[in-house]
Amino acid sequence: MKISVILPTRNRLERAQRFLSSLYKTCNNPSEVEIVILTDNDDDSYKGLTSPFTSTKKICGERRGLGEITHNGIRQSTGEVIFLCNDDVAVQTRGWDDEFYKIHKRFADGIYLMSPNDLNKSKKLFVFPVFSRKLFDLLGDFPLDYKGAFIDSHIHEIFKSLEFRGLNRMIYLDHVKFQHEHFRVTGEAPDTTYRDRDRFADDWVFFTSVGKRKGSSDALLKFVQEGYHQTKLSKRKLGLTQSLVLYTNGSYIPMLSGLRIIMYFVARFIYKIVLR
């Protein structure tokens, strides 16, 4: 059984190299870990990148949205366990892979969402999600829609919905530390990788994809309860009014949680207008 670490990276050769080194040094079974490195063909800085892991795939393609290249990377990986991680991370816990295996083996149906402690968002948001290939297959086009943000929020919200509906399959590994060296945490100036990204580009996509997440929540609940695999999930995005209704009618997530999400995106919209 392998763990596939999906690593998109751009203009960060040194960071990626440090992350791979810390990942390897803290891994108990490196032969059971597969690294999938995703780069853009307009970024030639990764020619000298080396991986200490024997099983490493380097996939270089046209620059596309983060969701699309991540989806493609997962498709080309082979592990039963999928781990989405960043290059700006320092691994602090020895035996992280054994901890992932333990959780994976607990759920015969493969329906779970796990996260290490990123020492920033912690359990509030599973920034570095870990899930099974079975879950990926059930979700279909995840996370194709997103250009650079909300991939973690999308899958986290699905599992928060499942929790609200009586199926708690979220596991937070507080003792497994993957320190996220985000510039807001370190105090450093944002690098070109952050500056080149439109931080608001995915707001509308995420908000109006609530119907898709509700459909995913329905399908996963039915799969766990009845073993039914729904092969065709809804890909339709909702309009603003329908999205507002779904967030506040109490059928998907708690009404108060839905209102908080609405207020969060209203605040982001206002901030975006002010910035412009």
3-state helix, strand, coil in the chain (%, to 5): 45, 15, 40
- Spacing of C-alpha 46 from chain mean position: 23
Per DSSP, helices labelled H in 88-150 are 96-106, 133-139
Q: What pLDDT sits at residue 45?
A: 86
Nearest to 214 by CA among 170, 252, 176, 187: 252
CATH 3.90.550.10-classified regions of the chain: 3-195
Phi, psi of 106 (to 5 degrees): -70, -25
Q: Measured between alpha carbons, how far is 79 from 14 in angstroms, rounded to an integer?
A: 26
Residue 235 is predicted with a pLDDT of 67
Going by their DSSP bridges, the two strands 130-132 and 81-84 should be labelled as antiparallel
Q: What angle do CA 56, 87, 27 make, to 5 degrees?
A: 55
CA 97 – CA 89 distance, rounded (Å): 16
Q: Which residues contact residue 238 at a Cβ distance below 8 angstroms, ignoring those fewer than 6 apart?
A: 208, 209, 210, 211, 246
Q: Does domain 3-195 have CATH number 3.90.550.10?
A: yes
Q: How far apart are CA 80 and CA 77, in angstroms?
A: 9
The span from the CA of 161 to the CA of 167, in Å, is 9
Give CA–CA dist 136/25, Å, rounded: 28
CB atoms within 10 A of CB 256: 10
* Buried/exposed code over 140-179 (b: 16+ C-beta within 10 A; e: otherwise): bebbbbbbbbbbbbbbbbbbbbbbbeebebbbebeebbbb
Q: 219: which residues sit within 8 A by CB, 6+ positions away?
A: 138, 230, 233
CB atoms within 10 A of CB 190: 12
Tokens coding 76: 């080309």
One pLDDT digit (tens) per residue for the chain, 276 residues: 799 999 999 989 999 999 999 999 999 999 999 999 999 999 888 888 999 999 999 999 999 999 999 999 999 999 999 999 999 999 999 999 999 999 999 999 999 999 999 999 999 999 999 999 999 999 988 999 999 999 999 999 999 999 999 999 999 999 999 999 988 877 888 778 878 888 899 999 999 999 999 999 999 999 999 987 766 666 678 899 999 999 999 999 999 999 999 999 999 999 988 866
Return all residues near 158 (Cβ < 8 A) that are at least 6 apart: 113, 139, 213, 216, 217, 220
